[in-house]
A = this chain, B = another copy of it.
């Protein structure tokens, strides 16, 4: 017995297809009495609508674009790869995704790009960008042009746009601190924190959460001022090498940004991989290798595939005027040790 269709409903309710469709889509122009007759039939037959067929007939396509910075970090490549991989699912749901890239830190170029977008506004925009006044204004313009905007990886709380898709970076910092504090022996030691730039909201939030937990639970550890290395491996190597020899009391490192290959290099050169406990961010070839050979002790990560799929779901729901289930769209802050590497 195959599942009931609109025809079956029409027949048992004694109305036409069009009326069934009107009731199904809550369109006006049907007598209350007829509505309930149709609904009874729906109930009785246990009808569930074939979404694929509906979308086919509706000819609805979703035109989405992703805007990402072009910084050469591994995480960004993974994000891009995740977008390509979503192509299959994406085609099935009748959405088309365009990816655009702007020079990292050049918010002028970014604003221009978004201005151009507002000329031919897509249905939705997934945007990974720093939170500056210029960006905020550009976001407002695109939204005014009718595009749903969802911030990705880095939140844009003041732009008045959609549900943020990414991890809670304060929580990520707290997680890092908990791991570092518990992995280190209960004895005085210094802890080095490396970030890209403290003006990047996500890195600042990680540092904030990290400091909270350090103060709350690990008073015996001395947290040093943040080393800002702009996610550049060469700078990380230089600075860490310098500090490692200057402060022999360094027992832990929290790498909140990118450029981890520079950190690995500095630690190995100083022969410090064993005596220093390291927590880093994002699961990449580099951090995976460092975890495997014991240079790093834990990695905090957000799954690029989940981020992309969630952003797409959120945009689609927004365009369709549907609610999203927040608990389902929360991106998890993952923890990896050598033992649970995927």
Contacts and interface: CB of A to CB of B under 8 A. Distances in A.
Interface of A: 2-3, 48, 50-53, 55-56, 61, 85, 88, 91-92, 94, 96, 171-172, 174-175, 177-179, 182-183, 185-186, 209, 213, 297, 300, 305, 327-328, 330, 332-340, 342
A178 B337 contact: yes
A174 B51 contact: no
Given A91-B48, A185-B185, A171 B55 contact: no
* Residue of A172, A185, A332, A339 most packed against chain B (CB within 10 A): A339
A334 B337 contact: no
Nearest to A298: B335
A71 to B, nearest CB: 25
A337 B52 contact: no
Given A56-B52, A91-B51, A183-B182, A342 B337 contact: no
Contacts of A48: 91
Nearest to A174: B339
A172 B53 contact: no
8 contacts: A51-B88, A171-B340, A178-B337, A182-B297, A183-B183, A185-B186, A332-B342, A335-B337
A56 B5 CA distance: 13
B51 A92 contact: yes
A70 to B, nearest CB: 25
A304 to B, nearest CB: 12
A92 to B, nearest CB: 5
A332 to B, nearest CB: 5
A340 B178 CA distance: 10
A335 B340 contact: yes
Contact of A171 (B2, B91, B339): B339
A213 B337 CA distance: 13
A327 B94 CA distance: 25
